[in-house]
Structures are given as C-alpha cells and as structure tokens.
C-alpha cells in the first residue's frame, strides 16, 4: 500500500489454472536468455487495469465485480510475439473469444456504473512472458496452450508481487 495516498494498485485478470500455467512456463523456458522471465506464478491476462484505488473502496470494487454475469470459455494461446514499444515477449490467442470481449465490456460497464475509472486503451489480450526483451528473429513456434477459463480475479500489486484479492465465477 502507498501509505501517503492510502491506495493500492489494482487490476482484474484471468489467473490461469495449473495446466495452462505449466504450458506457459514451458514457453518461457524455450525463450530463456531473450529477456527477464516473469515468475510463473504471476502469469496472467489483464482484463481491466484500474491503477491506484483507495483501500477504503476495495470492498465496493469487489461488489461491483460480483454483479458481472459472463460465460465461461476456452482461451487458446497459440502464438508468442514481441512488442518493440515496451520490449515484452507475450503469449496471445489468434482468435479472441467473443465471451472474453463480453466479459471485459461487462466489467467495464459495471465499474463505470459504480464510479470507478480504468484504462480505456484498445483491448489486446496477452500474457507477458518476458520483460526487457530483445528479439530480432522470428520467435519459435509454441505448443498450443488450451486454458479453460471458469473465473476471473481481482488482483493487487504492480509486480513482481501480485496478490489475488478475490475470484469471481463465470457462469
Ligand atoms: P503488461 O504485462 O503488458 O505490462 C499488471 O501491471 C498488469 O496490468 C500487467 O498485465 C500489465 O500489462 C497490465 N497493465 C499495466 N499498466 C496498464 C495500463 N495502463 N493499461 C492496461 N494494462 C496495464
């Protein structure tokens, strides 16, 4: 917590189950040496990023997220890519499931209705695998990771230490 402002950094994310996490960690191992590897237990897909939120509002934030109704889905991560602008290597789906987009827009609507502000940049689902990466050649092909997404999470922290504060089931 920032003791001066009484705030914590918060975001909503998909937090992988162990099979997907292991698959993503295997990708990280085949990319070793290309950058700083993210701790496997912190791998995630951000849904909505709020940034600093007053600690006294965390309960209201959790209640707002609890009202979101969205369907479970399968997320197929099948490509590793490099973003030069922030020097990360990330895992991404070739096809973004409609349910994922509905979850993000449902969450954004719910948060806005309850007076929370969040980052409104174009949504590009990804899992950051390596930071401070350098990559001149095409990345190796990766074995497909099939992730059964049954819930989403409210997470505190800006890395490297994240804490899952609450989980919300999908229907
Ligand atoms: P990144 O992995 O691409 O950096 C915690 O910081 C998570 O929120 C990370 O997944 C990070 O994405 C994402 N994040 C950080 N700042 C963000 C912002 N301003 N807008 C959207 N997502 C952000």
Residue 27 CA to residue 88 CA, distance in Å, equals 14
Q: Which domains does the chain have, with CATH numbers?
A: 7-169 (3.90.1140.10)
Best residue among 9, 44, 46, 152 to mutate for probing ligand 1, ranked by most atoms within 8 Å of CB: 46
- pLDDT, tens only, 71-116: 999 999 999 999 999 999 999 999 999 999 999 999 999 999 999 9
Please tell me the pTM assigned to this model.
Answer: 0.95
Structure confidence at residue 59 (pLDDT): 97
Residue 8 CA to residue 100 CA, distance in Å, equals 26
CA-nearest residue, atom 6 of ligand 1:
158
Across the chain, mean pLDDT equals 95
Ligand 1 centroid, distance to 46 Cα (angstroms): 7
Q: What is the DSSP string of 8-48?
A: EEEEEEE---HHHHHHHHHHHHHTTTSSEEPPGGG--EEEE
pLDDT band at 5 (very low <50, low <70, confident <90, very high): confident
Residue list, ligand 1 pocket, CB within 6 Å: 11, 46, 49, 88, 119, 121, 128, 158-159
Burial of 106: CB neighbours in 10 Å, binned 0-12, 13-18, 19+: middle
């Amino acid at each position: 917590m920032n003791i001066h402002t009484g705030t914590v950094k918060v975001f909503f994310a998909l937090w992988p189950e162990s099979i997907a996490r292991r698959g993503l960690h295997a990708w990280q191992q085949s990319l070793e040496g290309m950058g700083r590897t993210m701790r496997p237990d912190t791998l995630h897909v951000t849904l909505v990023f709020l940034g600093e939120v007053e600690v006294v509002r965390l309960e209201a934030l959790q209640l707002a997220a609890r009202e979101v109704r969205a369907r479970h889905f399968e997320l197929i991560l099948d490509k590793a890519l490099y973003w030069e602008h922030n020097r990360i290597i990330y895992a991404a789906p070739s096809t973004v499931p409609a349910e994922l987009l509905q979850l993000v827009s449902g969450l954004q609507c719910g948060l806005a209705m309850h007076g929370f502000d969040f980052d409104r940049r174009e949504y590009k689902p990804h899992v950051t695998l390596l930071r401070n990466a350098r990559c001149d050649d095409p990345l190796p092909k990766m074995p497909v990771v099939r992730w059964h997404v049954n819930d989403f999470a409210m997470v505190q922290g800006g890395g490297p230490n994240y804490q899952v504060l609450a989980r919300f089931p999908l229907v």
